[in-house]
Amino acid sequence: MLEITVRTTHLDVMGHVNNAKYVEYLEWGRCDELEKRGIDLWQMLREGLGFVVVNLNVNFRREAFAGEILVIESGLKEIRNNKIGVLEQRIRRKSNDEVVCDAEVTFLVFDTKAHKSITMPENIRRMMLAEPT
Give pLDDT, residue 73.
96
Average pLDDT, the chain: 93
**108-122 pLDDT, tens per residue?**
999 999 999 999 999
Give pLDDT, residue 29.
96
Domain that holds residue 89: 2-129
Tell me the average pLDDT across 91-120: 95
| pLDDT at position 79 over 80 | yes
Tell me the average pLDDT across 86-115: 96
CATH number of the domain within which 34 lies: 3.10.129.10
**50-60 pLDDT, tens per residue?**
999 999 999 99
Classify residue 114 as exposed, middle or buried by CB count within 10 Å of its CB (0-12, 13-18, 19+): exposed
Q: How many domains does the chain have?
A: 1
pTM over 0.85: yes
CB 58 within 8 A of CB 107: no
What amino acid positions are annotated as catalytic residues? 12
pLDDT classification of 133: cutoffs 50, 70, 90:
confident
Residue 58 CA to residue 48 CA, distance in Å, equals 29
pLDDT classification of 130: cutoffs 50, 70, 90:
confident
